[in-house]
Amino acid sequence: MKCWTILATLVLVSSAQANLRPLFDAIREVESGGNPDAVGDGGRSIGPYQIQWAYWKDSGVPGKYHQVRDHRYAERVMIAYWKRYCPQALARRDYQTLARVHNGGLTGHRKAATLPYWHKVARELRARKAVSSR
């Protein structure tokens, strides 16, 4: 029975990742240009999504922190974090709230300091849409 639960969870996460692909791609580009070895924030953030240890720990995703260098694992961490701190935004696919929470923590969507970050992500989303529609 436990195997089925794990399998069902993996399918749901994969589905959520696919539905959020444009956002993931835009955030990854803004954060690191897609570099899995990126280190930022004075060494406090790593991987293509620049995830900090506390963010990873809060997500509750099993594994090791260094695994956030793998974009697939990091995306599972992000989904788990969003499920915990902004589940309504995740359900609505509210890209702005999700991006701002990723950048500014659990109350990031309310911080004025995360607006410039959102504008970068939105610009990247628009650029990617323009490219894909050609």
Q: For 87-118, how does the pLDDT look when each residue is reduced to its tens digit (9 = 90+)?
A: 999 999 999 999 999 999 999 999 999 999 99
Output the pLDDT for position 129.
84
Helices (H), 20-110: 21-32, 53-59, 71-85, 87-92, 95-104
pLDDT value of position 1: 52
Radius of gyration of the chain (CA): 15
Assign residue 84 the CATH number of its domain.
1.10.530.10
Amino acid (1-letter code) at residue 99: A
The answer, yes or no, to whether residue 18 has pLDDT greater than 70, is no
Provide the pLDDT for residue 16: 61
Q: Which domain holds residue 74?
A: 2-132
Q: How high is the mean pLDDT of the chain?
A: 89
Give the integer Cα–Cα distance in Å for 93 and 81: 14
Residue showing tokens 């490219």:
131
What is the C-alpha to C-alpha distance for residues 96 and 86, in angstroms, rounded to an integer?
Answer: 11
Q: If you average pLDDT over residues 30-50, what whole number do you get?
A: 97
Report the C-alpha gap between 44 and 62 in whole angstroms.
20
pLDDT of residue 127: 94
Number of domains in the chain: 1
pLDDT above 80: residue 23:
yes
**Contact at 8 Å (CB) between 86 and 78?**
no
Q: Say if CB 86 and CB 65 are below 8 A apart.
A: no
